[in-house]
Amino acid sequence: MDFAYDARTVELRERLAAFLAECVYPAEPVHAAQVAGAGDPWARPPVLDELKAEARSRGLWNLFLPDPRYGAGLTNLQYAPLAELTGRSPHLAPEALNCAAPDTGNMELLAEFGSAAQRERWLMPLLAGEIRSAFCMTEPEVASSDATNIATRIIRDGDSYVVDGRKWWSSGAMDPRCEIFIVMGKTDPGAERHRQQSMILVPRDTPGVTVRRGMTVFGYSDAPHGGHAEIDFTGVRVPAENLVGVEGGGFAIAQARLGPGRIHHCMRLIGMAERALELLCRRALDRVAFGRPLAEQGVVREWIAESRVRIEQSRLLVLKTAWLMDTVGNRGAHTEIQAIKIATPAMAEWVIDKAIQGYGGAGVSQDTPLAALWAQARTLRLADGPDEVHRASLARAELRRWS
Amino acid sequence: MDFAYDARTVELRERLAAFLAECVYPAEPVHAAQVAGAGDPWARPPVLDELKAEARSRGLWNLFLPDPRYGAGLTNLQYAPLAELTGRSPHLAPEALNCAAPDTGNMELLAEFGSAAQRERWLMPLLAGEIRSAFCMTEPEVASSDATNIATRIIRDGDSYVVDGRKWWSSGAMDPRCEIFIVMGKTDPGAERHRQQSMILVPRDTPGVTVRRGMTVFGYSDAPHGGHAEIDFTGVRVPAENLVGVEGGGFAIAQARLGPGRIHHCMRLIGMAERALELLCRRALDRVAFGRPLAEQGVVREWIAESRVRIEQSRLLVLKTAWLMDTVGNRGAHTEIQAIKIATPAMAEWVIDKAIQGYGGAGVSQDTPLAALWAQARTLRLADGPDEVHRASLARAELRRWS
Amino acid sequence: MDFAYDARTVELRERLAAFLAECVYPAEPVHAAQVAGAGDPWARPPVLDELKAEARSRGLWNLFLPDPRYGAGLTNLQYAPLAELTGRSPHLAPEALNCAAPDTGNMELLAEFGSAAQRERWLMPLLAGEIRSAFCMTEPEVASSDATNIATRIIRDGDSYVVDGRKWWSSGAMDPRCEIFIVMGKTDPGAERHRQQSMILVPRDTPGVTVRRGMTVFGYSDAPHGGHAEIDFTGVRVPAENLVGVEGGGFAIAQARLGPGRIHHCMRLIGMAERALELLCRRALDRVAFGRPLAEQGVVREWIAESRVRIEQSRLLVLKTAWLMDTVGNRGAHTEIQAIKIATPAMAEWVIDKAIQGYGGAGVSQDTPLAALWAQARTLRLADGPDEVHRASLARAELRRWS
Amino acid sequence: MDFAYDARTVELRERLAAFLAECVYPAEPVHAAQVAGAGDPWARPPVLDELKAEARSRGLWNLFLPDPRYGAGLTNLQYAPLAELTGRSPHLAPEALNCAAPDTGNMELLAEFGSAAQRERWLMPLLAGEIRSAFCMTEPEVASSDATNIATRIIRDGDSYVVDGRKWWSSGAMDPRCEIFIVMGKTDPGAERHRQQSMILVPRDTPGVTVRRGMTVFGYSDAPHGGHAEIDFTGVRVPAENLVGVEGGGFAIAQARLGPGRIHHCMRLIGMAERALELLCRRALDRVAFGRPLAEQGVVREWIAESRVRIEQSRLLVLKTAWLMDTVGNRGAHTEIQAIKIATPAMAEWVIDKAIQGYGGAGVSQDTPLAALWAQARTLRLADGPDEVHRASLARAELRRWS
């Protein structure tokens, strides 16, 4: 048992921390100003492309991808501490490194399950950061955390598949550069419950695709992430070779995609909590109320201490989960993946809430990143299935040990 | 001791509930569509004026105002259950009844402390719902919950006062119909700590007034409430008769204004929580996950039960506080006013959070009112001073009993 | 709506507060010393009989009993604030006033459902405080919160009934003066689910009755309350006229008994919380740590404020519940009775926990009443059915409004 | 970074788990029966000596002691997972392995700071498990978490020191086999704040030593651990060579003693929580209420899942702390030691509370170990200084990073 990062991780963390300090944090107000000035909420602020170029030149690119043919070849355990750092500026840093969801999961999916042609056509431009992608699984009408509820149909018709259904929370799809949708639907509703679903690639400009609107998250459009689209697929016909993997393989692909995705989310949440705690400490040192800095007030100190304690515990559990994924595989790490999905958003929500309280009105406003960080953390208690579903499943596993 | 509402309250509650059911709830989607269609976030959707006309015709107008010369002449205890009902649709119902903050507090202030000329010029159009008003107290640079920190200056110069300072969170001031600002500043920084401040009326179009921007609350502009403005006052000269009350009376006026204001906020929060609980129950009955409606799942039932228990307790404490204000005055009700300020936003936040969780993605989005309700409740843990300040003060009072 | 106690309540509260201050609090250390000196944990300290005589002479006797033929004839709303005061010294005050559970519920039961002979034989000495009684419902082998699980049998055999079964948590039964057990069992397991049960009177000295042991509560024997016995009933034969009410009426009698019983428990819990808060405040004023009294430390202040806020809310809900029971009956107050059963023990547990923390080692020890108060509050989250059962039932009622 | 236990740890864990399963769990009811039958609460049940002999024969003896001259020579990181296992039966397992507090800390202290004569006279019989020891630091009259408050005096007088003062919470001192007290007092109240204190060895039978009483913890005497004594030292004269280390070195010794002590406490708490979770799961599978096993009820599942999540996080933080102590020393691990002191007792308290709730009345009684486990966990929020002191200190360290 050893709690030290290995040498490569240490080196990359230092390089990444320098990039954040020298480039990303200074770009935050620039980004906000460019967004405000653009008129179009979905416009792409130029500062982001500058950051991408800079990150690439510093060797901070596609770090998330374990396959060395395409990415940095890091293990989950090596990448996790880097993902954490990007969470400190979640609107800018992940995309600057070409490590932003949902593209990361989509790239992994294409690298692992895509055909050569699919990889050539879609993975390459994604790896280059030239286009973006969306993952279309959740549906408005059903509890999508239960995959058997998926109502979208993917029906074979000659050399094509025809896709019909409505998706929402397709993150990234409002970004005009988002060119490809990976869509989950049922090819065989009569099959065994986890063999009914398939995944298929649908280019955005295919006839019958309608991006209806962006969903908001506590008032935010999440435009920097490309928003969250509601999309209609009406008689959308794509070539049969657009299927990812085999018919009936959709559920397994989704599961494979979710494991690393959650690790990344959770590590970024830890970075978000660290940023919030830093902001709270700085505020506490600066702000005077009733004759004393907040830093000398017992309640604020309690928030700070409790935040530190909670962050440390969450980080270790996420890192152990990454280590398990590397050593015994996603399936062997199933319980831990559920555990961090439950624990980390709630932790981050708590820490950020305290930082907001320390800032007063500024905390809920556009003058600090806190309210937006909070909205993200809160939403992650729902995304990829509500916590309650994961708790019920984790409890079943625990009970099984004793029955 | 008697827990039944009196006859007038019962009758008005019925009338108001009918107005909500027949006019307000149906107007909610209309309002959203008109706002979305307007292009200008600060534009005024016509449906609101229709609601106002209808409310007035039904005798549901200015219910908040205890002074029978100007308003309905209800006690706090009679008005509180009505304010609760308006909280069920907080974007529309309060303004429809001309009972929206901050106008309510401003009208009370003018009715109680304004000169005849001030009442004629500003109170009358406010009572008629023709204009709106803002209350400019909080400042960006200081912990404004400590009134001695107020940095804005109001300096006598001949027959005028000259106002210099910066305010923010001036709610309502982004509304183009907002014509008058009540500004708190220091006329005598050397006086005893609660005699330094004065209040003065500043028409919005006075030279030197600059409304700089609207503050956001989480991602919301709060445009339906007229937003929350940051305002510069630079050498703003107004006639000396614009002073409200006497020099040095500002702190006392602010305190008088805050008591009923908090009751109103708290009662509306209870209505917001009731709305959220209704929405959660409806969702729980409709939505099926893993083969059973949410209503049959133990965790959801626990949320519902706990919500009911928390709402009931909060309501009673708010009503008792209203009764104390009516019987022993705001000062005698000081501890209880602090107590509801602490308890009610936290209660509402908790209940609304559970409803959001029950709705999944829809809960955080624009498709339910929940996320916006939550943002309001959260913000009220900060507005009128953060909870921590009230807790410290309440504890001092408690300790005094035993020392 | 009126939040003031009526004149009779005010007068009795003053009289009772004086009795507590002059007699009960000073008796607490005397009682502890007499218990410690007795050798036998179940021995009866003489100071208790002195307190009873004094209370009776002051007209503070059988206040709980609404039937004016037997008791004070107070409404629930009038008695509740008195029960609260007795909760401040829960080991001594309730019994001193002949208002201690389970005798109160048993006396009500006999007054309402007992035959003339039963009342003469058992109610009279209980009203005089000469004997004590126990209520035998809960069973070790089954989830007794579901009355259909009751396994004890009461079988008619000629002019007798024969009782067989095992009970536990029969509070008071370890007291040697406890002479009568009211036993719930099934007379007809095949009947409709709430008509299977009956209640019967079993004198303690009946052959076949074996008091096996006292159950402990977090290490406490609860000897001052007569402990909590596990009792075997083996072929226990009693005359048929010992049945209370009619065959099949046991469930209804139990329900009738539980309503007021919960009100009393809850009001005493509020008194317990008030006592704990007083102790915390006194400690905070006295104790110096790191150069300042605890009273000046923010975290302690937060505990005090939050305690006050929670106590006030709970008290109001309990009082409203009492008012509902008086005005619309126990059935009409069903939801509220469940609500206070959920809310009040949790509130008291929280407040007492903070007081314990303020006292450090003394808080968990015999040197303050806090640890014993806590154990009682914690146990009341389980007694009369665990909170979870009440929450599920309350949620069902809430959901019914919307389905 | 590597989350696997090393080979020696794995082997010892297996051996220890077998000892628990084969010897310790079966001894629990035997121990309870021997204690109940003894009459004298402080009598020593014979089963404990049998367990000790067996543990020693299995090579499970003095595992805690890192000094290979005296003990097993394990690192903190190796010992921690073993201490966890002993926490599953905290009344029996730690003492069976001669690894029970406070003897462990006292043996470490003597091994590290004791003179050769002191080691010979006291360490040897302690290592052999022939006698027990107590550590006398906390005082009733002062906030002892601030060491400058210590009022006990140790005054040099010729070849002797004379000790005067009162201690309490001297754990283990009620055990008749407890022969030696390590007493902290001030030798020089005028010195710099952390050089005022010294430690001295006081044999229990020295004239002037009076063991006054055992403190209770909730209702428990903690007799299996030797209780918690209040002790008077009145003109107690011991030879000058009884001083441990040098005059003024007491604070430093206490700090050195507390680090490993907390790790041990925290690891045992994790074992306690695991035991409680196992008991909850077993209950949930066995117990039927309202027609379904508890295991199928959503609220119980949520408890189980949340317990697992919390336990995993705590364990990792404790293990990391142990690793830090091994790699950078106690001082370098200061923040983490505080963090686990805050986090672990609260976690265990929460988990055990849920298990209690699952067991109903049995949970608070002597029929499960849960109530006693809970009382221990709760007390550890106070022992070695209340959490609030540690939070304030940890927050100061955190703030220092940003100032």
For position C330, which CATH number holds? 1.20.140.10
Read off the tokens for A329: 């595989």
CA distance C91 to chain D (A): 14
Reading the block at residue B274, the tokens are: 């009731």
| D111 and chain A in contact, CB less than 8 A | no
Facing residue for B339 by CB, picked from C6, C308, C401: C308
First vs last Cα of chain D: how many Å apart?
31
**Structure tokens that stand for A358 in this block:** 């320390």
Q: Which of A202, A193, A194, A191 is nearest to A244 (CA)?
A: A202
Residues of D in contact with B297 (CB under 8 A): 298
Interchain contact, A375 vs B169, CB within 8 Å: no
Whole-number Å distance between alpha carbons of C245 and C112: 9
Residues C172 and C258 in one domain: no
B258 and B393, same domain (yes or no): yes
Instruction: Report chain C (403 residues): mean pLDDT per 10 consecutive residues.
Output: 97 98 97 88 91 98 94 95 97 96 95 97 97 95 82 97 97 95 97 96 98 96 92 98 96 85 92 98 93 94 98 98 95 94 97 97 96 97 91 96 92
Helix%, strand%, coil% for chain B, nearest 5: 55, 15, 30
Q: Both A219 and A281 in a single domain?
A: no
What mean pLDDT comes out for the span A14-32? 97
State yes or no: pLDDT of A144 exceeds 80.
no
Residues of A in contact with C300 (CB under 8 A): 298
Q: The CATH number of the domain where C36 resides is what?
A: 1.10.540.10
Among the candidates C188, C222, C244, a domain finishes at: C244
Smallest CA–CA distance, residue A229 to chain B, in Å, is 11
Chains touching A (3+ CB pairs < 8 Å)? B, C, D
Gap between the Cα atoms of D327 and D231, Å rounded: 38
Rg of chain A over all Cα atoms, to the nearest angstrom: 21
Mean pLDDT score, B110-133? 97
pLDDT tens-digit map of A103-126: 999 999 999 999 999 999 999 999
Measured between alpha carbons, how far is B356 from A218 in angstroms, rounded to an integer? 11
Element (H, E) at C268: helix C250-286
For residue D1, being part of any structural domain is answered with no
Same domain flag for C240 and C255: no
Q: What are phi and psi of D298, to 5 degrees?
A: -55, -40
Q: Give me B400's structure tokens.
A: 């005094």
**What CA–CA distance (Å, rounded) separates A90 from A224?**
9
| For range A40-44, the mean pLDDT | 86
Q: Which of B218, B357, B388 sits opposite A219 (nearest CB)?
A: B218
Alpha-carbon gap, residue C100 to B26, rounded angstroms: 55
Specify whether C256 is located in the same domain as C231: no
Query: What SS3 class is residue C188?
Result: coil
Partners of residue B342 in chain C, C-beta under 8 Å:
305-306, 309
Does the beta carbon of B301 lie under 8 angstroms from any beta carbon of chain A?
no
Lowest mean pLDDT among B258-267, C116-125, C141-150, D180-189: C141-150
Residue A122 falls inside a structural domain: no
| B157 belongs to a structural domain | yes
- Does residue A120 lie within any of the structural domains? no
Same domain, C279 and C388: yes
Distance separating alpha carbons of residues B166 and B152, to the nearest angstrom: 7
Euclidean distance between CA atoms B193 and D377, whole angstroms: 48
Compute the mean pLDDT over every residue in chain B, rounded to the nearest whole number.
95
Is B166 domain-assigned? yes
Contact between chains at C143 and D289 (C-beta distance less than 8 A)? yes
Size of interface A-C (CB pairs under 8 A): 14
Residue C12, domain member (yes or no) = yes
Domain boundary among D114, D141, D158: D114
Task: Let me know whether B256 and B302 are in one domain.
Answer: yes
Are D264 and D324 contained in the same domain?
yes
Q: What is the pLDDT of residues D78-109, one digit of tens each?
A: 999 999 999 999 999 999 999 999 999 999 99
Amino acid at C254: A
- The total of structural domains in chain D comes to 3
Enumerate the H helices of A165-297 as residue ranges.
Answer: 250-286
Determine the angle formed by the axes of helices A370-379 and A334-359, rounding to 10 degrees: 150
| Residues of chain B neighbouring C339 (CB-CB closer than 8 A) | 308-309, 312
Q: What is the C-alpha to C-alpha distance for residues D325 and D256, in angstroms, rounded to an integer? A: 11
Q: What is the spatial distance between Cα A294 and Cα A279, in angstroms, rounded to a whole number?
A: 13
What pLDDT does residue A260 have?
80
- Residue B296 CA to residue C395 CA, distance in Å, equals 10
Compare all CA atoms of chain C with the CA of A302 and give the residue at the minimum distance: C299
Residue C2 is given by DSSP the state B
How is residue C36 written in tokens? Answer: 């410690």
Domain match, C82 and C151 both: no
ipTM of the complex: 0.96
Q: Cβ contact (<8 Å) for D216 and C169?
A: no
Q: Compute the count of residue pairs across chains B and C with CB atoms less than 8 Å apart.
A: 150
Same domain, D156 and D210: yes
Helices B7-19, B76-86: axis angle to 10 degrees equals: 20
D neighbours by CB contacts (3+ pairs under 8 Å)? A, B, C
User: DSSP assignment of B328-387, as one string?
Assistant: HHHHHTHHHHHHHHHHHHHHHHHHHHHHHHHHTHHHHSTTSSHHHHHHHHHHTTTTTS-H
User: If you measure CA to CA, which chain B residue comes closest to D302?
Assistant: B299
CATH code where residue C176 lies:
2.40.110.10
Separation between Cα atoms, residue C324 and residue C76, nearest integer Å = 9
Model-level pTM greater than 0.95? yes
Question: Over 80: is that where the pLDDT of A145 sits?
Answer: no
* pLDDT digit string, tens, across residues D220-241: 999 888 999 999 999 999 999 9
For residue A296, the chain C residue with the least C-alpha distance is C298
Element housing A326 (H / E): helix A298-332
Under 8 Å between Cβ of A145 and B288: no
Report how far residue D102's alpha carbon sits from residue D98's, in angstroms, rounded to the nearest whole number.
11
Is D216 touching C (CB cutoff 8 A)?
yes
- In B36-95, the residues whose Cβ lies within 8 Å of chain A are none
Could you tell me the pLDDT band of residue A403, with boundaries at 50, 70 and 90? confident
Q: Which residues contact B192 (CB under 8 A, 6 or more apart)?
A: none
Q: In angstroms, how far is CA D331 from the centroid of its own chain?
A: 20
Structure tokens at D349: 């308290």
B307: pLDDT strictly greater than 90: yes
pLDDT reported for residue B141: 87
Element at D38 (helix H, strand E)? helix D25-38
Domain span at residue D371?
251-400
- Per the CB < 8 A criterion, the answer to whether A369 and A275 are in contact is yes
Measured between its terminal Cα atoms, the distance across chain B in Å is: 31
Cα–Cα distances in angstroms (integers) from residue B185 to residues B136, B164, B168, B242, B343, in the given order: 9, 9, 13, 13, 30
**DSSP for A126-194?**
HHTTSSEEEEE---SSS-TTSGGG---EEEEETTEEEEEEEEEEEETTTSTTEEEEEEEEES-TTS-TT
Q: Is residue C140 part of a domain?
A: yes
Mean pLDDT across the stretch A277-303?
95
Q: Are residues D279 and D365 in the same domain?
A: yes
Residue type, D323: W
Locate the chain D residue with the closest alpha carbon to A313. D313
Q: Angle of helix B250-286 relative to helix C387-400, nearest 10 degrees?
A: 80
Provide the 8-state DSSP code for C217: B
Of C114, C148, C180, at which residue does a domain stop?
C114
Structure-token pair, residue C108: 């009500």
CB atoms within 10 A of CB B343: 23
Q: Do D281 and A394 make contact, defined as CB atoms within 8 angstroms?
A: no
**pLDDT-derived band at D149, boundaries 50, 70, 90:** confident
Instruction: Specify the residue for token string 């416009």.
Output: A43
Q: Look at residue C373 and tell me if it is in a domain.
A: yes
Query: Dihedral, CA atoms, A236, A240, A244, A245, nearest 10 degrees?
Result: 150
Asked if C267 and C392 sit in the same domain, the reply is yes
pLDDT in tens, D13-69: 999 999 999 999 999 999 999 988 888 888 889 999 999 999 999 999 999 999 999
- Assess B336–C contact: CB distance below 8 Å, yes or no: yes
**Confidence band of B329 (pLDDT split at 50, 70, 90):** very high
